[in-house]
Amino acid sequence: MAVDTEKLKKFKNALLILGLLVFVVIYLMVTSIIPKLQSISTISSEYNTQSASLSNKERSLDSLKEAAIKANDMNMSDIKEMYKPIETGLDAESIVASQFSDILKLLQANSIKTKSIQYNYNPPDDLFVKGAGDKLSVCKLDMQMVATYKNFENFLKDLHKHKHFLDISKIEILPYEKNKTILIINLQLKLYAQKV
């Protein structure tokens, strides 16, 4: 029996070593495989997020392309031309004088009284002056007017129909204190003309 206990001890030691070896192998596999699995999971999640972001951006790009195509195809007859004087070498005041005359006629035709008009030629804060000041003249009109609701409405309609490009920058309307059917109007209007 002594031999059997000796074999049993050797067998137990062999099993212990084998068990320890299996534990070490499993431990090494777990410590190296779990971070790789987590890394794969993180990469997969990031890939899905980036794929979704890419498809959203592709849809956005497609809609922008369609909008650009529509903008290029739009009817150019709706865009008003800049006023272009007949004579060359005129100063800013002379260039917009004809347009200003048209505005005065519209005021008269709609029975609107002007209390004051201030002129500012080529204001430095105007985007057209900043971008193309050598090619365009700008006159900013700050007008204070008195009119009825209907007359002012008709005046705005006439301005909209005006054949040359202009910009209504600001409108302030206050009813007259003594008669609420009469308006005190502060209007800021910009007239544009090409330099010849």
pTM: 0.54
Distance CA 74, CA 93 (A): 34
Contacts of 148-153 spanning 24+ positions with Cβ under 8 A: 148/111, 148/181, 148/182, 148/183, 149/181, 149/183, 151/110, 151/111, 151/112, 152/110, 152/112, 152/183, 152/185
The reported pLDDT for the residue numbered 2 is 55
pLDDT in single tens digits along all 196 residues of the chain:
556 788 888 888 888 888 888 888 888 888 888 888 888 889 988 999 999 999 999 998 888 888 777 765 554 445 667 666 666 656 656 667 777 888 889 899 999 999 998 988 888 888 777 777 677 778 888 999 999 999 999 998 988 888 777 888 899 999 988 888 899 999 998 888 777 6
